[in-house]
């Protein structure tokens, strides 16, 4: 018979009820404590994917909670539930500020096994109502234990009942999702309520930047830039009204670390508070200004910076070869021919980072003639300091094509020189003229010079030639160039 775990609250609170057992007795404690989460940057798409189900063994978060716990005097066993399914058992710590007359004698972590019955283990000591498939209550009272198919419940009159054939278990408002538990053996000098500080690390928490870009129409490249923080919780535990700090950068961790609709212009409003940015060692941290809810199995978007309008550049890039240099001159006529026909040309978007940009995904869109915002493409942005250039390949241009052929090659061993020439034909089937950036990498030998070219290069480095080639609408342009290599006897 299928089982369901029901919680009689719309959102889980951030304090778990802890069961305090002395001998064979068990009684719940109470208290409210909001979590403070430090969440590290994650690049694993599974964290942010709608295809993933359950907890995800990726990402890294550090959680600090305050739990108010009712203690008895003397030696006792304390169970604290509500740990996430992905908790690191060796990193769970609990302490009492100022010692509070409490000595911890030992601890054990009970891990969730990922099903509804094992998840109940995190709620031992809490008040529950167990019902059958027809909704009839079978038992109510304090949950004492979960063993295979059976639940052990202490009723209000003190009697104990074991329930096997049940359908649902309703928990109290304030119960926390998550099936793991911390069991403590401790000695308290006196009875009473204590504040305990619980800290642990868990996978299933991660964040990355999500940059929404809306390109304006017209001949000038302008874009509306809206940086968001995309925060994923696949830890197996809800966090309600949590304070969140996001860490950007790539620290060495023990665990592996939208189509946007354009908004119509409206009257100016007061800007919402933005995350507070700080330097954290070699990294950056962003503390969100307000507490937020992070239910399990969700991805939450929060502003990272205020949106702004920026200048940008649209570049169409064609690149052949690479920066590799051979150990000696390559005299083989078939080397690096790289001929092709009708190759698509990459369309890129470039701009200057207006602030420190954490790594993430950029999605660019533009308003179509019918007023709908349509996706132009998306690409990854690495961690980028303020003022540095950003370039994202959005896709391949539909209208631009290129063909490349080698038109000449000669090698003169006596003079220790080689001449090589190429022809690149660029065609444009669109209604607007385009300028294509062509990058060529002469790599037969490390010493070479440009003998001639039909278009003057914009840039020349030891391993690259870069040309800006204007291609008219519904037309074509031909780029011819010739290079000469030279070497010394010791290079042969």
| CA atoms within 13 A of residue 311's CA, in its CB half-sphere | 4
Tell which wins on pLDDT, 483 or 110.
Answer: 483
Quick one: tokens of 428? 């444009």
Tell me, what DSSP letter sits at residue 100?
T
What would the mean pLDDT of 263-275 be, rounded to a whole number? 49
Mean pLDDT score, 148-173: 83
Q: What is the pLDDT of residue 230?
A: 95
Give CA–CA dist 381/357, Å, rounded. 8
Phi (first) and psi of residue 123, to 5 degrees: -115, 15
Per-residue model confidence (pLDDT) at position 113 = 54
Closest C-alpha to 439, from 416, 425, 458: 458
Who's near 424: CB < 8 A, 6+ residues apart? 318, 402, 403, 404, 438, 469, 478, 479, 480
- For residues 443 and 324, the answer to whether their CB atoms sit within 8 Å is yes
pLDDT band at 302 (very low <50, low <70, confident <90, very high): very high
pLDDT one-digit tens code per residue, 162-219: 888 888 888 776 565 556 788 889 899 999 888 889 999 999 999 999 999 999 987 7
The angle formed by the CA atoms of residues 188, 70 and 200, to the nearest 5 degrees, is 85
CB 459 within 8 A of CB 489: no
Rounded percentage of the chain residues whose pLDDT exceeds 70: 83
Annotated domain spans of the chain: 4-202, 313-353+388-491
- Does the domain formed by 313-353+388-491 have CATH 2.30.29? no
What are the pLDDT digits (tens) for 128-146?
Answer: 898 988 888 888 998 877 7
Alpha carbon distance 78, 172 (integer Å)? 19
Which pTM value belongs to this model?
A: 0.71
Q: What is the DSSP string of 212-226?
A: EEEE--SSS-EEEEE
Say if CB 33 and CB 68 are below 8 A apart. Answer: yes
Tokens 């990854």 locate to 380
Based on the number of CB atoms within 10 Å of its own CB, is 398 exposed (0-12), middle (13-18) or buried (19 or more)? exposed
């Amino acid at each position: 018979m299928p089982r369901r775990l029901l919680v009689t609250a719309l959102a889980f609170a951030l304090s778990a009820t802890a069961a305090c057992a002395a001998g064979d007795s068990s009684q719940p404690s109470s208290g409210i404590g909001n979590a403070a989460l430090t969440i590290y940057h994650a690049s694993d798409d599974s964290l942010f994917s709608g295809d993933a189900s359950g907890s995800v063994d990726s990402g890294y978060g550090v959680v600090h909670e305050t739990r108010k716990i009712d203690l008895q005097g003397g030696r006792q066993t304390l169970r604290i539930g509500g740990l996430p399914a992905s908790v690191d058992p060796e990193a769970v710590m609990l302490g009492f500020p100022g010692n509070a007359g409490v000595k911890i004698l030992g601890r054990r972590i009970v891990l969730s096994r990922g099903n509804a019955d094992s998840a109940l283990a995190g709620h031992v000591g809490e008040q529950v109502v167990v019902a059958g498939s027809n909704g009839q209550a079978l038992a109510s009272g304090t949950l004492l234990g979960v063993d295979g198919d059976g639940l052990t419940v202490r009723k209000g009159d003190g009697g104990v009942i074991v329930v096997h054939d049940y359908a649902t278990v309703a928990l109290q408002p304030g119960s926390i999702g998550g099936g793991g538990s911390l069991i403590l053996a401790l000695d308290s000098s006196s009875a009473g309520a204590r504040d305990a500080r619980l800290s642990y690390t868990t996978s299933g928490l991660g964040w990355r930047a999500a940059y929404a870009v809306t390109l304006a129409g017209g001949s000038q490249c302008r874009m509306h830039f809206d940086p968001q923080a995309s925060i994923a919780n696949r830890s197996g535990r809800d966090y309600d009204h949590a304070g969140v700090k996001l860490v950007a950068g790539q620290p060495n961790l023990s665990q592996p670390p939208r189509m946007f609709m354009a908004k119509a212009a409206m009257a100016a409003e007061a800007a919402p508070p933005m995350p507070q940015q700080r330097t954290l060692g070699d990294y950056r941290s962003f503390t969100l200004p307000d507490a937020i809810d992070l239910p399990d199995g969700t991805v939450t978007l929060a502003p990272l910076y205020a949106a702004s309008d920026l200048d940008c550049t649209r570049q169409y890039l064609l690149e052949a070869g690479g920066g590799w240099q051979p150990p000696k001159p390559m005299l083989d006529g078939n080397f690096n021919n790289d001929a092709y026909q009708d190759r698509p040309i990459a369309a890129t978007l470039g701009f200057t980072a207006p602030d420190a940009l954490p790594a993430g995904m950029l999605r660019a869109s533009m308003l179509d003639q019918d007023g709908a915002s349509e996706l132009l493409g998306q690409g990854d942005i690495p961690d980028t300091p303020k003022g540095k250039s950003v370039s994202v390949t959005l896709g391949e241009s539909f209208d631009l094509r290129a063909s490349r052929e080698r038109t000449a090659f000669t090698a003169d061993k006596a003079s220790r020189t080689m001449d090589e020439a190429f022809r690149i034909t660029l065609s444009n089937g669109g209604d607007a003229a385009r300028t294509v950036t062509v990058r060529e990498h002469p790599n037969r030998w490390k010493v070479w010079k440009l003998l001639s070219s039909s278009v003057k290069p914009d840039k020349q480095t030891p391993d690259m030639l870069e040309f800006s080639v204007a291609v008219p609408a519904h037309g074509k342009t031909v780029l011819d160039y010739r290079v000469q290599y030279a070497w010394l006897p010791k290079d042969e």
